Chain A
Amino acid sequence: MSEETLTAETTKGVSGGRPTHDEHGHITDFGYVKIFVILAVITAVEVVWSYVNVPSYVFIPILFLMMLVKFYLVAAEFMHLKYDIKLFSMLFVTGLVLAGGVYLIFLSASQIWQSF
């Protein structure tokens, strides 16, 4: 491997002059701090959003979208699902889909959606 290729690979994921990923493509400590800052900002926006007076058909989807972004960032970056074996992601997603599916059917059978 040439020196140029090596340099290109090791500096992959550089932000503001500091590397966010190491030579294996794993996120660095600085990268983790950046993810945390993003999560903290989203949480702050969520809280502010909860005080905004908008119709529920606008309020709920945007709130849940922010929640899903936080969920993804923690699972993908902090739990390393993005970098780990796909089987681990499949196991976790299977649990989520199974739980989501079963309880959505249960809640629909209980006519829960009328209360929203």
Chain B
Amino acid sequence: MAEAVLDHADAHDAHDAHEGHVHKTNTGMSNNKLAMWVFLGSECLLFGGLISTYLLYRHNIQDGPGPSEEFFDIPFTSASSFVLLMSSLTMVLAHSAAERGDQKRLKIWLLSTALLGSVFVSGQIYEFTVFVREGLGWSTSPFSSAFYALTGFHGVHVTIGIIMLLSTFISTLRGRMHPGNAETVEIVGLYWHFVDIVWVFIFTVIYLAA
């Protein structure tokens, strides 16, 4: 009797794993999603530290250029911000498509998000090369070090997000994505939106308030 019950439970678990259902947990919520939220909470401390360092050193420019409306290319950075904002929309539409089991749209939106993210990172690389040509090197001044550390760390986060998006896209191509594991897309989305939120803050504090 007991063996029969265990076999039934194993068969049920195997079915759930095959269908991609979230397993029951002690907390009653998805462990993966909980882990991502804990991670994002800790990321606030990382970016908080980098933003504080920037605020502390932004006037320490020594002989190099400083943060000003003339130095920053606000229209260009505004366009980059708009691109990243648009990528948040395509990401949320990808999650919505994953929940509906709409494979075609899921692929389109995942790829669009990765593409928009790449445009943003390319823009950032271009901006950095312009700044270096204008005399703002990595170690020119405490301001430049703090600026490159903050925006560079953000750029690395966007790049990691693009890798996550492309991995999810490949899983979709291989037919591993179905409504049962739409949570994978949601978790990638949480990371991506967090990166967008951090940029909302950086854009205001560094560029617009300059």
Contact = CB atoms under 8 A, between A and B. Distances in A.
Contact of A92 (B37, B69, B75, B186): B37
Nearest to B30: A85
A98 B29 CA distance: 24
B204 interface: yes
A43 B78 contact: yes
Nearest to A99: B48
A67 B201 CA distance: 7
Q: Is the interface of B mostly helix, strand, loop or mixed?
A: helix
Given A71-B201, A98-B44, A112 B91 contact: no
A88 B208 contact: no
A70 interface: yes
B56 A91 contact: no
A110 interface: yes
A32 B96 contact: yes
Contacts of B61: none
Interface string A96-114: 1011101100110010100
Contact of A70 (B44, B93, B200, B207): B200
Contacts of A96: 41, 44
A28 B97 CA distance: 11
A75 interface: yes
Contact of A64 (B49, B203, B204): B204
A43 B41 contact: no
Contacts of A33: 89
A39 B194 CA distance: 15
Contacts of A6: none
